[in-house]
Every structure is written in C-alpha cells, then in structure tokens.
C-alpha cells in the first residue's frame, strides 16, 4: 500500500496547473471540508464545492466521465461534475437498461441499450436524478456545480478542495437534503496551507 503524501501531490498539482491554466492561477492551498447531518454524524457522498467570483463556471469542452451500470445498479451512486461535462452511461450488465431523467437541470432519455451510450452534456448547475425505466430500484444522483473546485465526502464526511488564493463560498449538497445549507465563507491566502470548513446539513445518511 502506498502512503498518500499531501505535500508531494500538492506540488505536483501546482506544476500541472501552471502548465494548463490559462488564467495563470496558482494553487495556494486547500480547504478541508467536514460535512455532518442534523445529528452531527459524518455524511458520506455529499458534494462539496467552492465558488469564487471570476471562476470559470463551465468546464472546457471535451470533459468526459462515465457512470456505469453493473449488477442492476448505477455506479457510483453520487457523481459531482462541473457544468459543461459530458457523462456516458456504459451498460455492463447482461440485461438492457433504459436510462432517463426528468430533472429540470437535465432531461434525457436513452432507450433500451447494452454496452456504450452516447454521452449526455450536463450544461446547467443543479441536481439530476437518474433512473431506469425497467428496474425501478435503480437510482443515481448527479450534482452539477458552477466551479472547477469540487469533491465528494468520504465515509468520514471529509473532502479536500485544492484552490488558488481567494475568497470562497464553500457549499455542500446531499441527496437526502432538499436544499443547500448556508455556505461557509472563507479566504485562502498563499501561505495558508489547509483551511478547515465545517458544514452541517439537515440530512439523514442513507441506510
């Protein structure tokens, strides 16, 4: 097992960002977010994201990820993407699925198919709930955010956002919660390193 070294990975991230970021942003540090429910218990699978004025709302064209169907489930259950991201829905089951969404943020329908699907462009921020027309128990959540700084909490309710220096509104969303909690407003300076943020949602963790 390799041990994660935050210092090494941060330096590497900074190097990559310097090469690809047209705005010339340099990584200043990170925001460590801890998300809890109304009872103070850690919430896994919460979307966390940091918004700042002047940050690109949409991903560059061509960004593409996948949500798999396997064992008559969508994997993963929760996906967080920046607006402008394409998602395809490969069906790796032996049965055919019919994937759809009625959500206002993205309505679509991929009729009975196996194997690869054409990608769907998620161009508007919001929550998209997807299901299968054949298997009622199949459900997954896509949370589309207007910022490149996002993550998903782990089993302990923790997530880390690598960000350039600036002022941020840090927000959290969980599928058990109808609305966002009040954002945590904070600043990250070049010398700060890791800045903690705690967000409490009135959600219950799924069983």
Q: Give the residue from 48, 45, 20, 23 showing the smallest Cα distance to 33.
A: 48
| Nearest-angstrom CA–CA distance, 61 and 38 | 38
In this complex, which beta carbon is closest to Cu ion, that of residue 141 or of residue 149?
141
| Nearest-angstrom CA–CA distance, 136 and 152 | 25
In this complex, which beta carbon is closest to Cu ion, that of residue 130 or of residue 172?
130
CB of 91 to Cu ion, least distance (A): 8
Distances in whole angstroms, Cα of residue 59 to Cα of each of 120, 144, 198, 202: 14, 11, 27, 30
CB of 152 to Cu ion, least distance (A): 24
CB of 138 to Cu ion, least distance (A): 5
In this complex, which beta carbon is closest to Cu ion, that of residue 61 or of residue 71?
71
CB of 116 to Cu ion, least distance (A): 16
| Nearest-angstrom CA–CA distance, 47 and 154 | 10
Structural Rg of the chain based on CA atoms? 18
Distances in whole angstroms, Cα of residue 9 to Cα of each of 6, 16, 163: 5, 10, 13
In this complex, which beta carbon is closest to Cu ion, that of residue 63 or of residue 135?
135
CB of 70 to Cu ion, least distance (A): 11
Report which residue's Cβ sits closest to Cu ion.
Answer: 132
In this complex, which beta carbon is closest to Cu ion, that of residue 132 or of residue 145?
132
The answer to whether 35 and 159 are in contact (CB under 8 A) is yes
Provide the sign of the torsion angle of the four alpha carbons 175, 177, 179, 182, taken in this order: negative
CB of 133 to Cu ion, least distance (A): 7
In this complex, which beta carbon is closest to Cu ion, that of residue 10 or of residue 135?
135
Residues of this chain that interact with Cu ion (CB under 5 A) are: 97, 132, 134-135
10 Å CB burial of residue 16 (0-12, 13-18, 19+) is exposed
């Amino acid at each position: 097992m390799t041990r994660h070294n935050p210092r090494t990975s941060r330096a590497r991230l900074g190097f990559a960002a310097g090469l690809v970021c047209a705005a010339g942003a340099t990584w200043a540090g990170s925001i460590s977010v801890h998300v809890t429910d109304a009872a103070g218990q850690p919430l896994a699978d919460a979307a966390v994201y940091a918004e700042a004025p002047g940050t690109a709302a949409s991903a560059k064209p061509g960004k593409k990820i996948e949500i798999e169907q396997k064992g008559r489930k969508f994997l993963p259950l929760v996906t967080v993407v920046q607006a402008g991201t394409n998602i395809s829905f490969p069906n790796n089951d032996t049965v055919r699925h019919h994937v759809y969404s009625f959500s206002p943020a993205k309505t679509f329908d991929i009729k009975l198919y196996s194997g690869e699907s054409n990608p769907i462009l998620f161009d508007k921020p919001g929550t998209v709930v997807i299901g299968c027309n054949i298997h009622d128990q199949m459900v997954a959540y896509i949370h589309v955010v207007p910022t490149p700084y996002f993550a998903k909490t782990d089993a302990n309710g923790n997530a880390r956002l690598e960000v350039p220096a600036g002022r941020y509104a840090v927000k959290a969303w969980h599928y058990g919660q109808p609305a966002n909690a009040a954002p945590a407003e904070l600043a990250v300076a070049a010398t700060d390193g890791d800045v903690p943020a705690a967000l409490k949602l009135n959600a219950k963790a799924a069983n």
